[in-house]
Amino acid sequence: MRRVLVVGGFFLVLLAIWQAATMSGRWSPVLLPPPGNVFEYLSGALHNGSLVESSLVTVQRLLIGYAIGVAIGLPLGLMTSTSPILQATIGTVALGLQTLPSVCWIPLALLWFGQSEEAVLFVVIMGTVWSVVIATDAGARSISPIYSRAARTMGAEGLDKWTHVILPASLPSVVSGMKQGWAFAWRSLMAAEIYVTVLTGFGLGHLLHYGRELNAMDQVIGVMFVIVVIGLLADKILFSPWERFLHRRWGTGRL
């Protein structure tokens, strides 16, 4: 209860500072609209359905791109962790491409796929895969060799050992890798939606982009707010249950 009050108070203070800044008259209301205007835009966009529709389009792209990214990155990461040759080849590629900001994939995606859904997905996947590969690789590498030895004496070899021992043993690092991958997917998607105009679906990034074109600052800030909220919700819904499970089983973190 106390915590709720403190957190609520904190955000009220932030809003008050914002309100005071707009009322000081130092900045043009076109560039810095008061909180009320942003709220008006948000409730209007919620009522006419454009915000919900864009959010759904965006989240759908995100989930598909992320799922493909993880489906590629997870096995690749497990593979590079076992073989020095794969580590030196695929591992190096992953490390290099991970440092490449995902916006840099957009020109290539546009030329290869045109202004299409595929171009957006491609950017999201490229933004996700490499960080998942690296996190999974590091995770699988950090597990104690004793687990593998114990498993082998109990008759678990090959694929059985991988799915029932190596993968669960590296779960804590895999989950944090997937979380990192999620953050990268989200960033890549926003970059893609801002730069790739597609007619098949109007996402949050597009709303943001047109807010700029129309000089509608209340829309720009409102959409940014929604993007933050979706990111927070995803963290709570997708990852918190996993993290609680891990803490309970491994006995790590607070109880």
Partner 1 sequence: MMSDHLDFKAATPAKLSVEGVSISFHSTRTSVHALQDVTLQVKGGEFVSLVGPSGCGKTTLLDIIAGLTRPDKGRVLADDHEVEGPGRHRMVMFQEPALFPWLDVMGNVTFGLKRKPGLSRRERHQIADYHLDLVGLRKFKRAYVHELSGGMKQRVALARALAPDPQVLLMDEPFSALDALTREQLYDDIQRIWQGRRKTIVLVTHNVREAICLSDRVVLMSPSPGRIREEYIISLPRPRDINSPELATIAQTITATLKGYIPESVE
Q: Enumerate binding residues for partner 1 (CB under 8 A).
A: 144, 146-147, 149-157, 160, 164-165, 168-169, 171, 248-251
Residues 6+ apart with CB under 8 A from 125: 65, 68, 69, 72
Q: How far is the CB of 248 from partner 1 (least distance, A)?
A: 7
Measure the CA–CA gap between 217 and 207, rounded to whole angstroms: 11
List the one residue out of 216, 213, 238, 186 whose CA is nearest residue 66. 186
If the CB atoms of residues 27 and 250 are measured against partner 1, the closer one turns out to be 250
If the CB atoms of residues 171 and 196 are measured against partner 1, the closer one turns out to be 171
**Which DSSP state fits 198?**
-
Q: How far is the CB of 176 from partner 1 (least distance, A)?
A: 16
The pair phi, psi for residue 224, each rounded to 5°, is -60, -40
If the CB atoms of residues 97 and 178 are measured against partner 1, the closer one turns out to be 178
143 torsion bin: left (phi>0), alpha (psi -120 to 50), beta (else): beta
Q: How far is the CB of 89 from partner 1 (least distance, A)?
A: 24
- Would you state the structure tokens that stand for residue 18, as one six-digit string? 């914002």
Q: How far is the CB of 136 from partner 1 (least distance, A)?
A: 16
Greatest alpha-carbon pair distance for the chain in Å reads 75
- Would you state the structure tokens that stand for residue 149, as one six-digit string? 């030895």
DSSP three-state, residue 48 = coil
If the CB atoms of residues 43 and 142 are measured against partner 1, the closer one turns out to be 142
If the CB atoms of residues 93 and 167 are measured against partner 1, the closer one turns out to be 167
Task: Count CA atoms closer than 13 A to 151's CA, side-chain side.
Answer: 19
